[in-house]
Structure 1
């Protein structure tokens, strides 16, 4: 009779996600995962699959977390333009607090070499673009945004700018520069 798994599946997934987040995919070893998650190898394989499967689950978990963060920040806005600014400020605060981003790391580490990871990253980028595009269109309709730039192109630019906030802070660790980067991004729609 098989033994019941005596651990919280989601709790252990978060531990794995955070390990990948801190070290990256390639630098995180199976021993790191087994030790960090405090489960044996067979439980890891039976529950999550191999290291790559676990990474995909971890990346999806991280993306869900960030998507909730963006939507929660957007909901706090009085109007669509303020919603966009709130999302940018939310990303800024995350970058300063976490000093790292699993999504950004994955773009540069695996985005072009791992088709499954690249597809997940592209899908999430398009989801973020769609959110910004919708908010930008509403801002134009409401007269909050006076721009002749196509909403889709501007939305792509803003999403790329979110990555640049993390990139700046990861590389330079300069809070003032990171804040300036976010404010310049906001100024493109103000």
Structure 2
């Protein structure tokens, strides 16, 4: 029988997520990870693969545990409510005092250079899934008369996601939850009125 691992892989993965979230992908070294996870390099490679493999696993964990609110937010009965819930949910995640401020995908991709282009592309592709999901929700709202016919769901999805990503950058720079809630309030003032179509 093989020797049992001396660490909890789930706990180690969560620790790695926190390190990546704090330092970004490129700013995190293997030593940073092994020190924080309290494991050896061979143990890290055996359990998670290389640094890129480990980061992809932390992205999966982040989406399951921290961004799961997005799916529920889009189920709100009205499109405006769905978007507001989505933005407030992002604020809650990026300002959660139990975790480093900001967003794993934003912190992870901002400083990526040419050598880490595959990671950057992975992050962008995952963001696009979220944007497409929001666009689909707004298209549905428009077909139901809950979103103006003369407005573009794609443009609004792009705008909302840009606000969300911008708030993540602000949170990483020290913005408080209350400050970002006010950003959400301000952004929602521009929500289009259905009266435009009447």
TM-score range, shorter chain: 0.7 to 0.9
Alignment-derived partner of residue 94 in structure 2:
95
2:37 is the alignment partner of 1:37: yes
Alignment-derived partner of residue 158 in structure 1:
160
TM-score (norm 1): 0.85
Q: How has the CA–CA distance of structure 1 residues 33 and 21 changed in structure 2, closer, same or farther, with 3 Å as cutoff?
A: same
Deviation readout 1:76-132 (Å, 9 max, x if unpaired): x23333122111111122223252211111231227652321221122122111111
Alignment-derived partner of residue 171 in structure 2:
169
Report which structure shows greater RCO (CA 8 Å, sep ≥6).
Answer: 2
TM-score (norm 2): 0.82
Name the structure with the higher helix share: 1
Q: What is the alpha-carbon distance in structure 1 between the residues aligned to residue 108 and residue 167 of structure 2?
A: 15
Gapped runs of 5+ residues in structure 1?
Answer: none
SS at match of 1:2: coil
Residue 160 of structure 1, CA deviation: 1.3
Aligned residue pair count: 189
| Superposition RMSD in Å | 2.3
With 162-171 and 145-154 compared, the bigger mean Cα shift is at: 145-154
Residue 66 of structure 1, CA deviation: 4.1
Deviation readout 1:22-50 (Å, 9 max, x if unpaired): 12223323222112212222111111122
Alignment-derived partner of residue 144 in structure 2:
142
Alignment-derived partner of residue 23 in structure 1:
23
C-alpha contact 2:105 2:123 (8 A) present in aligned 1: yes
